[in-house]
Structure 1
Amino acid sequence: MKKQLRKLKILEIDPWLKPFKNELNIRMEEYEKNKKKLLENHDSFKDFANGHLYFGFHEVENGWIYREWAPNANELTLIGDFNDWNLDSHPLSKKENGVWEIFIPGKDSLYHGCRVKVKINSMGKTLHRIPLYIKRTIQNPISHDFSGQIWKEKDEFNWSDQDFKVKNEPLLIYESHIGMAQEKEDYGTFKEFEKNILPRIKDAGYNTVQLMAIMQHPYYGSFGYHVSNFFAVSSWFGNPTELKELVNTAHSMGLNIIMDIVHSHAVKNIAEGIDEFDGTTTQFFHEGLKGIHPAWDSKLFDYSKPEVIHFLLSNIKFWMDEYHFDGFRFDGVTSMIYDHHGLGVNFDNYEKYFNDTVDMDAINYLQYANELIKEIRKDAISISEDMSGMPGMALPIECGGIGFDYRLSMGVPDFWIKLLDKKDENWSMYDIWYELTSLRPKEKRITYVESHDQALVGDKTLFFRLADQEIYWHMEKSDKNPIIDRAMALHKMIRFITITLSGEGYLNFMGNEFGHPEWIDFPREGNNWSFKYCKRQWSLGDNLDLKYNYLKKFDKDMIYFTKINHILETSEVKDLWLDDTKKIIIYKKNDLIFLFNFHPTDSFEDFRFPTHEASDYKVVFDSDAEIYGGHERISRKVIYSPKQLHEFNKSTGISIYSPSRTFLVLKKID
């Protein structure tokens, strides 16, 4: 008898998926079957994901209990400052299912700041490892090795954000890295970020802070993406209490705060990380080459193992409960969901999403992760970093989707990079329109012009690409320079057309809003461990004599304009005019008309286009204002009245002056 396929709403949302209804049904069958197994003794994922409340170090009435999961180990012994690193005095007892446990009598037997490790004998090897669920690790300044550290706050942290509710209005995300957020040539700290950067983000109009590199990583230059200790706060920037203070302050300012979570891979370091914790390579990761990422040189999780799912889901709950994060941006999703990790694959047709290269276990894990996040907090945020465009990534699970709230529009930054390699006169308005309006049906997008990767050495930010070396010599407001003029004009136009046309949320990497002039180069052997380029020069944007200040002012007003006009709250956009010869793009959103003139030289004194309605219009925002470094060629006082346009079959429209390399926004006058 032929198996009856269920009706999935995703097939109605995207009819192109109908040939793959069998594969989508298998996805949901696997999700439900494995969920049932995982939750056999639990009511929900929220009830299931409590590994951090059982494993690790826990103070009890008359001492401490320490537990680990090390199924293939022969012997575990706790060592540390508390017992003068005695290798034999504190052995753990083996319980069922690979669990090890020790009770240490005395409230003060483990004390605040006490360094700890666990000695593991397995497979004929003796390893000194950092406990899996440790909340803090520190590095010895002399030997440079890492140890776990007991973090026991004197008093329970006094949160004051009980009434905070996530701003799920359109997300305006300020992506940040704590360590390089300061102007000094040194590591930035949680306290400095709280004091100096949060007010900047608030003043700039963004409503969400996205923090990179929060999970402990032994190599600073990894940008935080080679995680070693999944439950530990990055010691590069401070301690757990200081991170809590930062989050609490952000909430008091009305800011959402989310973090990059890295569940796509882990650092392969044995001494610092979780690799070979119990003496085997397969405790957390796939066996052999399947367990190694060929491009990242890191370890790949085996999502088919219930213990791995338990570890990772507990990690999600931990960061939400312990530190009050409002959600996550999941890193490396493409790598997770395909055996080929997206390397060298062009996702140019739907068959690329439904074949034997897809890791169904990874997809199911992401569904469980999103279900858990919503169980913990219905208003929490989840964002997927997937460059493949997997259909359903940001659709509800019950529809047949993977459950993210948003997907990053990763193709948009790549598009702008490629476009900037062409001469301005060869830019296609049709290509711009297509790239910025293409979307998966009903899936919300976070759009952005440039990623943090483009700010790294070996690449260039948008403004650096546009201005090149002139950025070093011609950024004083009194200095007239055609290359800088072009760079500033296009910087404003590209950012504005991206935020208004291509998403339901927007992201900016810190400093890029004012055209930060230099790349990021983390301290490394090749630069003699210098911090010279691992900082943000906020003083450039603040300096009223420099053109960076024009761009800073523009970005602030752009963010404000999108908010008060609810531009990101609708995907509905009407194409009014595309002209590849004159390099004109005109579209309507809500009651606003957006006119972009990308022509490098030509301004149009009497540019006529149809509006299809008998309404007066007035310019309410433009890129050519003097306060943004423009030439003040656009009047905000003129009323543009409707007229019949004979060249458009007597359609109703207006005539307007459109200067080269500018945009303007017209608003209907009631």
Structure 2
Amino acid sequence: MSRPPQLDNLLKLDSWLNDFQNEICRRYGVFLEYQKKIEECGGIEHFTQGYKNFGLLVQSDNSVLCHEWAPGADQLALIGDFNGWNRETHKYTKEGFGKWRLVIPPNSDGSCAIPHSSIVKIAVTKNGKTMDKLSPWAMYVTRPNDSVVYHQQFYNPPDKYTLKHPRPSRPASLRIYEAHVGISSWEGKVNTYRAFADDVIPRIHRQGYNTIQLMAVMEHVYYASFGYQVTSFFAPARIETLRFLLSNLRWWVEEYGFDGFRFDGVTSMIYHSHGMNDDFGGGYPMYFGLNADTDSLVYLMLANDFLHKKYPQIITIAEEVSGMPALCRSVAEGGQGFDFRLAMALPDMWIKILKHVKDEDWNVNEIVHTLENRRYGEANIAYAESHDQALVGDKTIAFWLMDKEMYDFMSILTPLTPIIERGIALHKMIRLLTMALGGEAWLNFIGNEFGHPEWLDFPRIGNNESFHYARRQFNLADDDNLRYKFLNLWDQEINRLEENTGFLHKGPAYVSWKHNGDKMICFERAGVLFVFNFHPFQSFPDYKVGVEIPGVYKLVLNSDEERFGGHNRLQFGSVHHSFPEGYAGRRNHILVYAPARTCLIFSL
């Protein structure tokens, strides 16, 4: 049994793991066994460059090396436009260990025998039956005329693109903009990468985000799947499958300059039950019992270990709901090696509250508990909503708050209705509270920064292939006569606040006050004092707030400013001198005016 070299660090963070040292060590031992197998296959550097050894590879003399792994096949043949789809002329030779090889010499004039962008497929024969397949190593796949059959196009452009800019350094705090290129136009169409780069990325930069999480980049059969149903993949235990998966990660980093990966559905991977019908309420034994899938856990260890050693600035994120301990601790400690996990309980909490709880019944103690309830020493990405909440069948926070009134009363030329007033106020408060208290990074889904109305629905048979809801209406935020501009500007300012203070990466908050009757929450983080009044109608003059450091506290931002759609009940830049009497577990206190449904931010 092999002991992770830094296991003691993990056990100091969480002493409950002492009882499961044997299982942690066993998993680490399997990780070392896989590393040994990889060394026997030429080492990790060679192993993770499978894309240079498999697929259709143009050689220096313009010949094409065709190399595939198909252990169950009786025969492979390359067919396509280049040979008139002849199944007899270009058959592969079996090499052993499930590998097949074919070399296609260049034309007599020295040019490549397969034209760039021409269609190719692999005819796979098994038990006398032949099916035409795409190579899992295909670099360019298209879907012609909405066909259900995809084409692999031979990729050999005369002028290969080279990356023009150096890899950016990793920011201290991650403020992530989650985006889907296809829906990023205000028009009803599949948007292009060029248009996204020209029109959307400048917006993201202006909003103050420093990281973009792109969805649906890999080829996928069904547009409405949000990119989850990727083509060509298979499962992780076989060594050649492992080569494919690790090479895939490296290919995106090397060929496209990716700075990191979000691993979706990790819970489904790491349990034999795929997390189905599991409430994960059984304590630590459920994480280290027979239901845990060792092969998948070890694959994640191998992937993260390789990525972080090869690319020290890389960022990996896990979408995982079970709370697997050490998921975001290093492999050397016995963890899976991720940098962050998504705080998936937070959007669930907000949607549950907005659907079922009256404003006067909000339990701020439970809200604070949920926002702070995360594993110590494992970084979380906080978010109030993501693409999951935007999809048809659910609603965005803005739509839960304001619903149909968004159609008629978001113009500043119309009366400010109580529903719109409440919605704008709570939208701002929910987002900042989640950002400031819920994690060590922040994520926003495209359009939610300005309260995008309605839902997201991709074209499909059920909606007559309509693009009406598969778009982002940025024009709403740009219209000076619409109240969306208030939410958009608030989003810019809270990102600027984080940029200037770095509160996301400077340690957890200290919550000094949470009062259910008053609906008040007060906390300090990175020298910033946050005061939230969620009461639907009660404002508090001279509200006593505990502070640790004595001095003069300046109001630097508040959601009631007129530029954010508020009532301007507070004076921007007002100062509050601390009193030396301790309060709420802090050594000093200040007195503030806290209007209803308003958040205030102070700094020394």
TM-score when scaled to structure 1? 0.86
Matches within 5 A, 1:509-548: 509-548=445-484
Instruction: Give the structure 2 partner of residue 306 of structure 1.
Output: 239
Query: In the aligned structure 2, how far is the partner of 1:77 from the partner of 1:390?
Result: 45
Deviation at 1:588, TM superposition (A): 0.9
Does residue 391 of structure 2 align to residue 456 of structure 1? yes
Instruction: Give the structure 2 partner of residue 133 of structure 1.
Output: 137
Residue of 221, 224, 243 corresponding to 1:221 = 224
Q: Which amino acid aligns with 1:10?
A: L
Deviation at 1:633, TM superposition (A): 0.8
Deviation at 1:649, TM superposition (A): 11
Instruction: Give the structure 1 partner of residue 172 of structure 2.
Output: 169
Change (3 A) 1:120 1:20: same
Q: Larger deviation: 125-134 or 611-620?
A: 611-620
Query: In the aligned structure 1, how far is the partner of 2:29 from the partner of 2:568?
Result: 61
Instruction: Give the structure 2 partner of residue 633 of structure 1.
Output: 569
Change (3 A) 1:343 1:650: closer
Does residue 505 of structure 2 align to residue 505 of structure 1? no
Instruction: Give the structure 2 partner of residue 197 of structure 1.
Output: 200
Deviation at 1:647, TM superposition (A): 8.4
Q: Are the counterparts in 2 of residues 172 and 505 from structure 1 also a CA contact under 8 Å?
A: yes
Matches within 5 A, 1:364-513: 364-420=298-354, 421-478=356-413, 479-513=415-449
Query: In the aligned structure 2, how far is the partner of 1:650 from the partner of 1:549?
Result: 38
Q: Deviations over 1:168-224 (max 9, x none)?
A: 321111111111011111111111111111111111111111111111111111100
SS of the equivalent of 1:87 reads coil
Q: Are the counterparts in 1 of residues 381 and 443 from structure 2 also a CA contact under 8 Å?
A: yes
SS of the equivalent of 1:517 reads coil
Instruction: Give the structure 2 partner of residue 47 of structure 1.
Output: 46
Q: Deviations over 1:614-662 (max 9, x none)?
A: 3221211110000000010112243212236598799632221110000
Q: Are the counterparts in 1 of residues 380 and 439 from structure 2 also a CA contact under 8 Å?
A: yes
Query: In the aligned structure 2, how far is the partner of 1:404 from the partner of 1:155?
Result: 37
Q: Which amino acid aligns with 1:492?
A: K
Instruction: Give the structure 1 partner of residue 119 of structure 2.
Output: 115
Query: In the aligned structure 1, how far is the partner of 2:53 from the partner of 2:590?
Result: 69
Sequence identity of aligned pairs in percent? 39
Query: In the aligned structure 2, how far is the partner of 1:304 from the partner of 1:632?
Result: 61
Deviation at 1:156, TM superposition (A): 2.4
Tell me how many residue pairs correspond in the alignment: 595
Query: In the aligned structure 1, how far is the partner of 2:17 from the partner of 2:277?
Result: 24
Residue of 539, 547, 556 corresponding to 1:620 = 556
Q: Deviations over 1:595-616 (max 9, x none)?
A: 0001011001121233244322
SS of the equivalent of 2:64 reads strand
Q: Deviations over 1:492-519 (max 9, x none)?
A: 0010011111211111000001000011
Query: In the aligned structure 1, how far is the partner of 2:322 from the partner of 2:164?
Result: 41
Matches within 5 A, 1:322-337: 322-337=255-270
Change (3 A) 1:8 1:614: closer
Q: Are the counterparts in 2 of residues 643 and 652 from structure 1 also a CA contact under 8 Å?
A: yes
Deviation at 1:552, TM superposition (A): 0.5
Query: In the aligned structure 1, how far is the partner of 2:334 from the partner of 2:183?
Result: 40
TM-score when scaled to structure 2? 0.95
Query: In the aligned structure 2, how far is the partner of 1:97 from the partner of 1:80?
Result: 26
SS of the equivalent of 2:237 reads coil
Change (3 A) 1:33 1:650: closer
Q: Are the counterparts in 2 of residues 567 and 589 from structure 1 also a CA contact under 8 Å?
A: yes
Q: Deviations over 1:236-278 (max 9, x none)?
A: xxxxxxxxxxxxxxxxxxxxxxxxxxxxxx5xxxxxxxxxxxx
Change (3 A) 1:94 1:575: same
Query: In the aligned structure 2, how far is the partner of 1:332 from the partner of 1:410?
Result: 12
Query: In the aligned structure 2, how far is the partner of 1:616 from the partner of 1:508?
Result: 33
Deviation at 1:143, TM superposition (A): 5.5
Q: Are the counterparts in 2 of residues 52 and 314 from structure 1 also a CA contact under 8 Å?
A: yes
Change (3 A) 1:648 1:15: closer
Q: Are the counterparts in 1 of residues 550 and 580 from structure 2 also a CA contact under 8 Å?
A: no
Change (3 A) 1:513 1:614: same
Q: Deviations over 1:261-297 (max 9, x none)?
A: xxxxx5xxxxxxxxxxxxxxxxx4xxxxxxxxxxxxx
SS of the equivalent of 2:493 reads helix
Query: In the aligned structure 2, how far is the partner of 1:460 from the partner of 1:380?
Result: 33
Query: In the aligned structure 1, how far is the partner of 2:251 from the partner of 2:77?
Result: 26
Query: In the aligned structure 1, how far is the partner of 2:586 from the partner of 2:470?
Result: 59
Deviation at 1:225, TM superposition (A): 0.2
